[in-house]
Amino acid sequence: MADQNQKAEIFELNNGTVQLLVTNLGCTITSFSVPNKDGVLSDVVLGLDSVESYQKGLAPLFWLHYPQTVSNGGNVGFDKKYESHDGEEGYPGDITVTATYTLTSSTTLRLDMEGVPKNKPTIINLAQHTYWNLAGHNSGHILDHSIKISANHVTPVDQNTVPTGEIMPVKGTPFDFTAERRIGDTINQVGLGYDHNYVLDCGEEKAGLKHAAKVRDPSSSRVLNFHISPSVVVRPGEKYQHSMLFEFSIE
């Protein structure tokens, strides 16, 4: 998150095809405008309209816990660093965290996150938690979206949505999205709905990243393919690196 003494800002990446807005408050994507089948831009993420709204705590927690990040266009990328000091938020050790947003093509966004522990063993688990609606952020529910997830297994949760420790095959269950299908078809069969961790074990590789999921909106013909790198265990002095690729197309 941004330092208390740092000015809260929103930064823009615009390559003439898509427009991305990011605030340095917790690496939050506030807006991502992508064309539909007719070339009309719509914002496809759920975000607030001003940094003041984020500062007042009006948003759900879909930012990173530690990093503060801004964005950039071009091939090199634009990044900021955040120093997390020993004892901050109860975590041991000093860590330098860097996050970089880059528009790598006309409709592809890449996020690279890196954490370097300096002096003590610690826990690093960086996440990007944007909420997407490919029909447009103000278009209602996403039950008509279809999704394919590159996972043969899921980790079940208890009544508090905490993983039980079990790793369960998805075949023959409402969690099976190994073939693309409509989200709303089986959501009522899953308690309070889908809020589960999928074991990404069958995705094809692209640019060093594994395919995680494909999401399609039938009304706009927007398609989002999501690629990630797996998390790793790090020791003092080693780097934690996690990358994500958001690839849009029309189908």
Entry pTM: 0.83
Question: Pick the residue with more confidence: 134 or 206?
Answer: 134
Task: Answer whether 136's CB lies under 8 Å from 119's CB.
Answer: no
Q: What is the mean pLDDT of the chain?
A: 83
Collapsing DSSP to helix, strand or coil, 183 comes out as helix
- Residue numbers of the domain that contains 105: 10-141+229-243
Residue 101 lies in a domain: yes
pLDDT of residue 120: 85
What percentage of the chain reaches a pLDDT higher than 70? 83
Residue 234 lies in a domain: yes
Q: CA quadruple 37, 224, 71, 73: dihedral positive or negative?
A: negative
Residue 180 lies in a domain: no
Task: Answer whether 248's CB lies under 8 Å from 34's CB.
Answer: yes
Q: Give the pLDDT band of residue 166 (cuts 50, 70, 90).
A: very high
From the number of C-beta atoms within 10 Å of its C-beta (0-12, 13-18, 19+), residue 89 rates as exposed
From the number of C-beta atoms within 10 Å of its C-beta (0-12, 13-18, 19+), residue 17 rates as middle
Q: Give the pLDDT band of residue 84 (cuts 50, 70, 90).
A: confident
Token pair in block for residue 131 = 């909420």
Residue 163 lies in a domain: no
Q: How many domains does the chain have?
A: 1
Residue 179 lies in a domain: no
Question: Pick the residue with more confidence: 223 or 128?
Answer: 223
CATH number at residue 62: 2.70.98.10
Residue 155 lies in a domain: no
For residues 251 and 247, give the distance between their C-alpha atoms in angstroms, rounded to a whole number: 13
Residue 161 lies in a domain: no
Question: How many Cα atoms are found within 13 Å in the side-chain-facing hemisphere of 32?
Answer: 25
Residue 216 lies in a domain: no
Q: What is the pLDDT of residues 177-225, one digit of tens each?
A: 999 999 999 999 988 788 899 999 989 988 889 999 999 999 999 999 9
